[in-house]
């Protein structure tokens, strides 16, 4: 058997199994097979590839948690692994014959993309702390989705039997949730009276400063409605259950936030990131997840800003030049990190800070609020990149970030 000098192995990642396709330098398929998502199957695949070629280049499409075992086994075995983004795979697939989509075809497209392009990112061994933060933040995202859906469900139920009470409070805070977890019909609230409501809220650890106002507003809403609407009893039961679930979920989210902050602050970048105006442990953890906790892929601040979608791209054609537009391919998650950091950095806590002055200057240049925030977000990218590069924390004496990051 003649051993080929090099092959490219593309792997379409799945939950229970992956599909691997190897091609040679001529683009011909060397082998194509399905493998299980377990260590021994991946090791057997590595052995087969080694028998087929002296040099093997591996390529995978997602770097999500379901690919973690695959990537870890490959890197532990000393293999060279690159990342082929899903959008690139989808675009390349249109250049192949046929409209069918199979795991085998996707794996072949990934392999062909790796063979034709030399600008794809290398995958390094994931940092254990970053992986932990990734899992925690992903779980928090799921909890927040449940929270939003639960609040909307609660408001819909409450509005169907007691519209005035639904409109009276913000049910994303604990005190109104504590109220409707125990009493949510006009009759129940009228029977309790203001004193009964106050006692109930105090016993269930509602926010002390808001108890009196909440009790008065709820009682006023109950006095204004003396009708019992159809289905009130069963709907009230569902409201109380939903409010109890939301209280438990709120507690879980807060405990998870503390854990995320603890894990984040174990990273060497933590103090530097938190020193930046507007960047707390939550946004800092998101930044670690997106960047992998290293700047090797971002040689300049401009590349980091481009990945965050904060650098306009040209759209020139013929004699039309200088036509810039918002990019379509970028990390929405990273863009949100810097946008929210920019928004926080002009808040009351930083009233006279450099971010507020920069924002006000942009507004004076007739930029709208969103444009000024995006400009500030771009500035924060430059500043954070420079701070991480130099290994120092932000102070008011920090030099101009644009000049530092140049």
**Residue 226 confidence (pLDDT) above 80:** yes
- The percentage of residues in the chain with a pLDDT greater than 90, rounded to a whole number, is 71
| Mean of all residue pLDDT scores within the chain | 90
Per-residue pLDDT band for 84 (boundaries 50, 70, 90) equals confident
Mean pLDDT of the 133-155 span: 96
Dist. CA 260–CA 270, nearest whole Å: 12
How high is the pLDDT of residue 342? 95
How high is the pLDDT of residue 405? 40
Q: Going by DSSP bridges, is the β-strand pair 4-12/53-60 parallel, antiparallel, or unpaired?
A: parallel
Q: What are the residues whose beta carbons fall under 8 Å from the beta carbon of 262, sequence distance 6 or more?
A: none
Per-residue pLDDT band for 397 (boundaries 50, 70, 90) equals low
pLDDT digits (tens, 9 = 90+) for 21-45: 999 998 899 999 999 999 999 999 9
Q: What are the residues whose beta carbons fall under 8 Å from the beta carbon of 251, sequence distance 6 or more?
A: none
**Residue 184 confidence (pLDDT) above 50:** yes
pLDDT digits (tens, 9 = 90+) for 295-310: 888 889 999 999 999 9
Among 161, 167, 178, 324, which Cα is nearest to 230's? 161
For residues 335 and 309, the answer to whether their CB atoms sit within 8 Å is yes
Dist. CA 393–CA 269, nearest whole Å: 9
Among 64, 14, 107, 120, which Cα is nearest to 289's? 64
Q: Going by DSSP bridges, is the β-strand pair 17-24/4-12 parallel, antiparallel, or unpaired?
A: antiparallel
For residues 56 and 50, the answer to whether their CB atoms sit within 8 Å is yes
Dist. CA 9–CA 6, nearest whole Å: 10
Mean pLDDT of the 49-77 span: 89
Mean pLDDT of the 170-193 span: 96
Coil, helix or strand at residue 113: helix
Helix ranges (DSSP H) in 162-280: 163-168, 174-182, 186-203, 208-223, 232-264, 270-275
The reply to whether the predicted model has a pTM over 0.85 is no
Helix ranges (DSSP H) in 265-390: 270-275, 281-291, 301-307, 332-344, 354-364, 369-390
**Residue 314 confidence (pLDDT) above 90:** no
The DSSP code sequence of 135-162 is: HHHHHHHHHHHHHHHHHHHHHHHHHHH-
For residues 53 and 4, the answer to whether their CB atoms sit within 8 Å is yes
CA-only gyration radius of the chain, Å: 28
Beta bridge partners of 29: 23
Per-residue pLDDT band for 259 (boundaries 50, 70, 90) equals very high
Coil, helix or strand at residue 376: helix
For residues 264 and 288, the answer to whether their CB atoms sit within 8 Å is yes
pLDDT digits (tens, 9 = 90+) for 334-369: 999 999 999 999 998 888 889 999 999 999 999 999
Mean pLDDT of the 378-399 span: 87
Dist. CA 275–CA 371, nearest whole Å: 24
Mean pLDDT of the 389-406 span: 66
Mean pLDDT of the 135-161 span: 96
- The percentage of residues in the chain with a pLDDT greater than 70, rounded to a whole number, is 95
Mean pLDDT of the 213-225 span: 96
SS3 letters across 324-337: EECCCCCCHHHHHH
**Residue 247 confidence (pLDDT) above 90:** yes
Per-residue pLDDT band for 121 (boundaries 50, 70, 90) equals confident
């Amino acid at each position: 058997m003649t051993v080929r000098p090099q092959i490219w192995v593309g792997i379409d990642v799945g939950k229970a199994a992956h599909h691997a396709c190897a091609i040679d330098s001529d683009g011909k398929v060397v082998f194509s097979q399905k493998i299980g998502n377990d260590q021994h199957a991946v090791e057997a695949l590595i052995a087969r590839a080694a028998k087929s070629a002296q040099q093997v280049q591996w390529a995978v499409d997602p770097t999500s948690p379901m690919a973690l075992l695959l990537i870890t086994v490959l890197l532990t075995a000393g293999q060279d692994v690159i990342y082929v983004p899903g959008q690139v795979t989808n675009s390349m697939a249109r250049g192949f014959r046929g409209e069918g989509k199979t795991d085998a075809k996707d794996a072949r497209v990934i392999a062909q993309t790796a063979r034709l392009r030399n600008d794809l990112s290398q995958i390094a061994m994931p940092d254990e702390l970053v992986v932990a933060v990734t899992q925690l933040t992903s779980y928090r995202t799921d909890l927040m989705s449940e929270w939003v859906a639960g609040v909307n469900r609660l408001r819909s139920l409450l509005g169907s039997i007691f519209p005035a009470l639904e409109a009276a409070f913000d049910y994303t805070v604990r005190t109104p949730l504590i109220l409707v977890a125990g009493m949510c019909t006009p009759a129940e609230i009228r029977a309790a009276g203001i004193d009964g409501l106050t006692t109930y809220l105090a016993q269930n650890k509602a926010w002390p400063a808001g108890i009196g106002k909440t009790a008065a507003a709820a009682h006023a809403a109950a006095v204004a409605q003396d009708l019992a609407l159809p289905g009130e009893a069963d709907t009230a039961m569902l409201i109380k259950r939903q409010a109890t679930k939301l209280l438990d979920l709120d507690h879980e989210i807060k405990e998870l936030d503390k854990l995320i902050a603890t894990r984040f602050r174990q990273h060497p970048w933590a103090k530097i990131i938190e020193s930046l105006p507007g960047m707390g442990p939550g946004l800092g953890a998101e930044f670690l997840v997106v960047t992998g906790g290293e700047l090797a892929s971002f040689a300049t601040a401009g590349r980091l800003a481009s990945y965050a979608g904060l650098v306009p791209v040209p759209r020139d054609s013929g004699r039309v030049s200088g036509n810039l537009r918002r990019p379509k391919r970028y990390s929405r998650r990273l863009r949100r990190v810097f946008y929210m950091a920019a928004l926080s950095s002009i808040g009351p806590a930083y009233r006279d800070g450099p971010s507020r002055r920069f924002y006000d200057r942009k507004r004076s240049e007739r930029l709208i609020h969103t444009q000024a925030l995006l400009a500030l977000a771009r500035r924060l990218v430059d500043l954070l990149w420079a701070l991480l590069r130099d290994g120092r924390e932000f102070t008011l004496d920090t030099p101009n970030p644009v000049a530092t990051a140049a």
